[in-house]
Amino acid sequence: MFSHLEHIYDPRERALVGIADLGLRALTWPWRLAPSQRPPMPPQRILALRLERIGDLLMTLGALQSLRATWRQAQIKLVVGSWNADVAKQLPWVDSVETLDAPWLSREDAPATLGALLRRGQRWKRERFDLALNLEGDIRSNFLLALSGASLRVGFAMAGGGSLLTDVVSYDPRAHTDENTRRVVRAAAERLGTTAVEPPPSWPRFSLPPASVERASRLLGEDASRAARTLIGLHTGGGRAIKQWHPSRFGQAAGRIAQEASAAIVLTGTDQDRPLVDEARSAIPSGVDVVDLAAPLDLLTLAAVLSRLSLYVTGDTGPMHLAAAMGTPVVGVFGISDPARYAPLVAHRRVVRIDLPCSPCNRVRLPPERCRGHMPDCLEGIGSDMVARAGLDLLAEVRDRG
């Protein structure tokens, strides 16, 4: 019955979502959350939810661009976690941004309570949205979407909550997140008797405020004599232990690229990444110029730094997607996560991974038992020379194409 839950690997989670799904189906009728028989055309007020992390939002930019191009006159409200607010407010395709730190996603001290979520839904209902889109697949955010009372509610049901939607979109686990979120917009357009407009991407995907650009210049020490130097970015932190590649190999790969390209290396990361950054730096050959920016930076300043790079070497992380949004060429080191779903969305990129019968399993939240407590084989088998070669090839490709 619950084949859409196959991507949830914890049996307890699967059982809980299945039970919740049954309960929501029973509640659909008395709560008047059943599908509307009269979807509006064209929609004048549109609500879009993307509550997850920075990489998730950035992989949704194509869908948001399509949403705006399809309904140019509509007022579009985008709801994101507070951690993504600064970036969301720079997006040219939405009219307003609202923040909501859902308790199942928030890393902050004060996530929204159940009561706050219910009040938020009631407020959305008073705004009388014609169309609401859930650009992530989650039973809880589908519940929020239903509370909006929008005439047409479109989203995924692979993690439950399909009865709360008027239109369920099939989720393709083999397709990129970008393609799946675009499918939501296409389904809404088809329901409303039109065809979604999907302009080709251009880079950077959004503009940066002057203050962020100026701060990035100061951090990089870009005076008139150094502004034209080649910069190779290096992000060693994997975000999760299961996605963490050897920091020393990161340093070796970036060092070789910098030596052959006569470039400087820019280190990025958080305070929590400091031990990894220091290990990577110790593997960089002496004589290579290093700019250490591994410190707390707001997302827009980090984006401005990344926009100055000739190349960014990183794992599968949020900063990887931020660099891609800026149009920066990216070398992404992938292990357990599937690049078919999460590769950087940029014109110039290289994905470095090795083929194993079990990889990519994409079991990031609940890794296989044999991969816990140590680096999985799909990352252990990647050598620094593979990453260095990919970076040098990519630099040559960008140079040849002007």
Q: How far apart are CA 85 and CA 107, in angstroms?
A: 15
| pLDDT tens digit sequence for 182-215 | 999 999 999 999 999 999 999 999 999 999 999 9
* Backbone torsions φ then ψ of 155, nearest 5 degrees: 180, -170
3-191 and 210-400 share one CATH topology? yes
Q: How confident is the model at residue 148 (pLDDT cuts 50, 70, 90)?
A: very high
| pLDDT tens digit sequence for 261-317 | 999 999 999 999 999 999 999 999 999 999 999 999 999 999 999 999 999 999 999
299-307 helix and 318-325 helix, angle to the nearest 10 degrees? 60
Q: How far apart are CA 49 and CA 101, in angstroms?
A: 12
Ordered by start, the domain boundaries in the chain are 3-191, 210-400
- Average predicted confidence (pLDDT) for the chain: 90
CB 130 within 8 A of CB 45: yes
Per the DSSP assignment, residues forming a β-bridge with 45 are 75
Q: How far apart are CA 20 and CA 159, in angstroms?
A: 10
Mean per-residue pLDDT, 98-120: 83
What's the CATH architecture for 3-191? 3-Layer(aba) Sandwich (3.40)
Between the CA atoms of 84, 86, 87 and 93, what dihedral angle is there, to the nearest 10 degrees?
110
| pLDDT tens digit sequence for 326-366 | 999 999 999 999 999 999 999 999 999 999 999 999 999 88
Between the CA atoms of 59, 64, 66 and 70, what dihedral angle is there, to the nearest 10 degrees?
170
Q: How confident is the model at residue 50 (pLDDT cuts 50, 70, 90)?
A: very high
Q: How confident is the model at residue 25 (pLDDT cuts 50, 70, 90)?
A: low
How does 41-62 read in b/e, with b if 16+ C-beta sit within 10 Å?
ebbebbbbbbbbbbbbbbbbbb
Q: Which of 98-112, 219-233, 301-315 has the highest mean pLDDT?
A: 301-315
Q: With H, G, I as helix, E, B as strand and everything else as coil, classify residue 259.
A: helix
Q: Say if residue 33's pLDDT is above 60.
A: no
pTM for this one? 0.91
Q: Which of 364, 397, 398 is nearest to 379 (CA)?
A: 364
CATH of 210-400, one of 3.40.50.2300, 3.40.50.2000, 3.40.50.1820, 3.60.15.10: 3.40.50.2000
274-282 helix and 247-261 helix, angle to the nearest 10 degrees? 50
Both structure tokens of 256: 């070789």
Both structure tokens of 66: 């399509």
